[in-house]
Amino acid sequence: MKLKKGDEVIVVAGKDKGRKGKIEKVFPKEREVLIPGMNIVKKHLKPRKEGEKGGVVEIAKPLNVSKVALLCPKCRKTTRVGYLITKHTKERICKKCRQAI
């Protein structure tokens, strides 16, 4: 997967379309990323212990990778990720400005 924790992304589809945020956690097997404050859903919880209250809580659910686009830190444009492979290193590059991400 080409996105990593800490990358700044913009949501390109769904109810949060147009909003920006940083990736908090990546789920490579599910091809999903967790962005705090995005894709908020309400979950109804039952009280588990005696004296504890149930209620409705809001939690952030992961977004599919296809619904987000990387923002290049150099040119500040949405871009795809490419790779530049040299003899000993492999680094991610912006497809638009060709700078290292």
pLDDT of residue 52: 87
Q: Is 29 left (phi over 0), alpha (psi -120 to 50) or beta?
A: alpha
- Residue 97's contacts (CB-CB under 8 Å, 6 or more residues apart) are 72, 74, 75, 77, 79
Q: Domain 8-76 - what CATH class?
A: mainly beta
Strand, coil or helix: 47: coil
pLDDT digits (tens, 9 = 90+) for 40-93: 999 999 998 888 888 999 999 999 999 999 999 999 999 999 999 999 999 999
Residues 97 and 99: their CA atoms lie apart, in Å, by 5
The pTM for the full model equals: 0.84
Instruction: Answer yes or no: is pLDDT of 23 > 90.
Output: yes
Residues 12 and 2: their CA atoms lie apart, in Å, by 17
